[in-house]
Structure 1
Amino acid sequence: MRWIVLIAATGLLAGCSGGSGPDDSSSSGTSNTDSGSSSSGSAVEVQTVDLSYLPAPYSEADYDTGRRLFRRCGSCHTVAAEGGNRAGPNLHGIFGSTAGTVDGFDYSMTLENADFVWTPEQLDGWLANPREFLPGNRMSFVGLREEEDRRNVIAYLMHETGYSAAD
């Protein structure tokens, strides 16, 4: 029994630390999907999505790179409206929502008491280093150090989670 728990915990940690988890992108609004071949001969899916409706700098981000980077998050988070919670809360509708308020998710007291609304800028700070952004939260992800990586993930999330300019 201990081996099963150890194996499950190892899989969860691998997903949060950079392994490739499931891709829960529901790509509503994807304009093109092309399949090509990489130099190793395996198929590579490339999606072209119009992000021009997003504010700068997210309108210039690389959706496909953001989607691939989000796979690290996919073992803990879903983005579809009916995706449900996992080890982390469902992120659909995150922009414009108050931190720590997704129904049915058991947040740390730190996040429940956080008094801010999720904006792309707030999420950028969180993704850079969740532990420094809000000390005492339970998220195990170490963060994305590269600004361009964060911008790509945020643009992906804006597109996939129902962002509107009113958020």
Structure 2
Amino acid sequence: MLKWVVAAGCLLAMPAVASAQDAEAGKKLWNKCAPCHAIGPGAKNKVGPELNGLLGRPAASVEGFAYSDALKKSGITWDDEKLHKWLENPKALVPGTKMLFPGVKDETQRDDIIAYIESFKADGSN
């Protein structure tokens, strides 16, 4: 019985995943990002940089895009955590950024958008 109590306690102590990321739902939510960013085959910079292969890439590293000094100096390498904070409130993560987007307040929506972005490799394939 003690083993079951210990096992249950360990399970409760583990961090829970709030929701599974859903790239298909993220594709629909991408409409919030599409006016400024492109992703996928043939993506080009728009008002914002193209986002193919974003995760693991240093911030302000897409050639040909004029980033703010704040983002250039941020030292950020995009991972789930940083992208989550960015999508929630870009100006809070990087004060002085040029990005005018107010953010996505819903955590599940951010998860889904990130899943969609993560589905694209640097060459735009997925």
Question: Normalised by the shorter chain, which TM-score bucket?
Answer: 0.7 to 0.9
- The answer to which structure has the higher helix fraction is 2
- Structure 1 runs (4+) deviating above 3 angstroms are 56-59
Answering whether residue 34 of structure 2 is matched by residue 74 of structure 1, we say: yes
1:58 CA displacement: 9.8
1:81 CA displacement: 4.5
1:66 CA displacement: 0.8
Q: Counterpart in 2 of 1:22?
A: none
Answering whether residue 73 of structure 2 is matched by residue 106 of structure 1, we say: no
Q: Counterpart in 1 of 2:94?
A: 134
Deviations 1:117-154 (A, max 9, x none): 10011100100100111110010100000111100100
Whichever of the two has the greater Rg, that structure is 2
Number of corresponding residues: 107
TM-score (norm 2): 0.78
Higher relative contact order (CA 8 A, sep 6+): 2
1:82 CA displacement: 2.5
Aligned with residue 156 of structure 1, among 107, 116, 119: 116
Answering whether residue 95 of structure 2 is matched by residue 95 of structure 1, we say: no
Distance in 2 of aligned mates of 1:151 and 1:62: 7
Structure 1 residues 156 and 58: CA distance shift in structure 2, 3 A: farther
Instruction: Specify every segment of 5 or more residues in structure 2 that has no aligned partner in the other structure, as ranges.
Output: 1-15
- Mapped contact 2:19–2:108 kept (Cα < 8 A): no
Instruction: Specify every segment of 5 or more residues in structure 1 that has no aligned partner in the other structure, as ranges.
Output: 1-55
1:115 maps to amino acid: G
Distance in 1 of aligned mates of 2:35 and 2:60: 19
Q: Counterpart in 2 of 1:120?
A: 80
2:45 maps to amino acid: N
Query: What SS does the aligned partner of 2:83 have?
Result: helix
- The answer to which structure has the higher strand fraction is 1
Query: What SS does the aligned partner of 1:138 have?
Result: coil
Q: Counterpart in 1 of 2:104?
A: 144
